[in-house]
Amino acid sequence: KMVIKRICCIGAGYVGGPTCSVMALKCPDIIITVVDKSKERIMQWNSEKLPIYEPGLDDVVKTCRGRNLFFSTDIETAIIEADLIFISVNTPAKSFGIGKGRAADLKYVEGAARMIAKVATGDKVVVEKSTVPVRAAESILKILRANNKPGVSYQILSNPEFLAEGTAIDDLINADRVLIGGEDTPEGQAAIEKLCWAANAFLAQRISSINSLSAVCEATGADVTEVAKAVGLDSRIGAKFLQASVGFGGSCFQKDILNLVYICECLNLPEVAAYWQQVIDMNEYQKSRFSGKVIEALFNTVTDKRIALLGFAFKKNTGDTRESPAIHVSKTLLDEGAKLHIYDPKVDHKQIMYDLTHACVTDDPEKVKNSVSIHDDPYSATSGTHAIVLCTEWDEFVSLDYEKIYDGMMKPAYIFDGRKILDHSQLLKIGFHVETIGKRLCRPLVNRIWGSPYQI
Ligand code: NAD
């Protein structure tokens, strides 16, 4: 029986980094080396400012780094020395060819497998952690076995990761479930694959369901929060993931559903494919509806208007911007000629500019650069603007001094709460025009110039 003394993890991303850090914390006798082909990423993991933000991560890394946790670009040595290797590389949707934009691109997984096959000298347990279709584990096995050298044998396992960004450390320490699949059970592999996609598809579906009802609430005058609360009290449904918002983002939901849709089409199940595609379509609709609301409220034109965007990450407690709704909202406003003033507590300035000058957002990056300024604090971002658009539910946005912010803004001052986290009646009292998701808000009879609220 093999004793695991050294672990190598290929891929130092949102999964590999936190997972190995917690593993190093919990297993001080095992030496864990996280490797990546990106020099910059590894340099950041070895620096004071880690490449990703997760509550609690800094402390775990500080405790373990240099003790039994190492970050390195020397992939070959780490593979040779390891008894067990995690493959934790990215599996984006394909950007070209058959299944473009939908099928999972497994080139990085394959690259990692080929690297292991090339350099391994002893017995290895290879654990697939990336979210991959069932055939991927088989292909890893095929690549490894086809390049077999004497004295080398492989055992392949699947251990898909279910952590959520923003709560990764807690999810890893108190996991709802840990799934390990062996190569000897193809049915087990198929079940694992379905489980990963099903979990993300169901979660995203709940968000799209409540978001679809938010449109109904706005049209009829009901409050979607009340609806969600009442619906969530039904123990068969439960209260989680029923928060209406500007839409879901993140690297996984859209990719995993598109992958599911693609596989359904390949399996000649067009009705099932259309059903899940609708979850994505509803999310697109929600983002467009929110951006449209901003433009409509600002007298149907935002050209040359200064708009503050609060929050750029796809959700709170992460600096990750992949598929963030803020990108969609920014693009719409920039296309309409707005000047954006962006603030996010954790996203790097460089990352924001990169996302907004990307080819899928603009064909004129110079114009975007001239229309976007990125701020280090929310007060400077909002100062002198016509409107605030809140895109991420960061806790700090709830307790900002909105009186002060209001005083520094152009009038009438607008606030669009895309996450439904602010105290709307308070904002209305201050004098803001407030718009949110799934609820119509009317302005009380207040006039700040003439006196206190409710006088007229
Ligand atoms: P990521 O893009 O943050 O990190 C992947 C890293 O792998 C990158 O730094 C990249 O440089 C590196 N890499 C790629 N090929 C390599 C190679 N051959 N050798 C060395 N390094 C290589 O991705 P992530 O968010 O950590 O996701 C990894 C996998 O986990 C994906 O399959 C994803 O679907 C799945 N997953 C992600 C989450 C999440 O919340 N992010 C949750 C559960 C599962």
Q: pLDDT tens, 54-70?
A: 999 999 999 999 999 99
What is the per-residue pLDDT across 167-208, written as a single tens digit (0 to 9) for each? 999 999 999 988 887 766 666 566 666 667 788 999 999 999
- Which of 76, 86, 89, 132 has the most ligand 1 atoms within 8 A of CB, as the residue to mutate? 89
Buried residues in 81-108 as b, exposed as e (16+ CB within 10 A): bbbbbbbbbbbebbeeeebeebbbbbeb
Token pair for residue 257?
Answer: 């559903």
| Domain 225-456 class in CATH | alpha beta
Is the shortest distance between the CB of 161 and ligand 1 below 6 Å?
Answer: yes
Per annotation, catalytic residue among 20, 64, 217, 252: 252
* Residue 442 binned pLDDT confidence (cut-offs 50, 70, 90): low
Q: Which residues contact 420 (CB under 8 A, 6 or more apart)?
A: 224, 225, 243, 244, 245, 436, 437, 438, 439
Is residue 9 flagged as an active site residue? Answer: no
Residues of the chain with CATH 3.40.50.720: 6-184, 225-456
Which of the listed CATH numbers 1.10.286.10, 3.40.50.2300, 3.40.50.720, 3.90.1150.10 matches domain 6-184?
3.40.50.720
Q: Evaluate whether 373 touches 341 at the Cβ level (below 8 Å).
A: yes
- Which of 251, 255, 314, 351 has the most ligand 1 atoms within 8 A of CB, as the residue to mutate? 251
Tell me the whole-structure pTM to 2 decimals. 0.90
Q: How far is the CA of 114 from the centre of ligand 1 (A)?
A: 17
The pLDDT value given to residue 456: 33
Mean pLDDT calculated for residue range 299-325: 97
Question: Looking at residue 94, what DSSP letter applies?
Answer: P
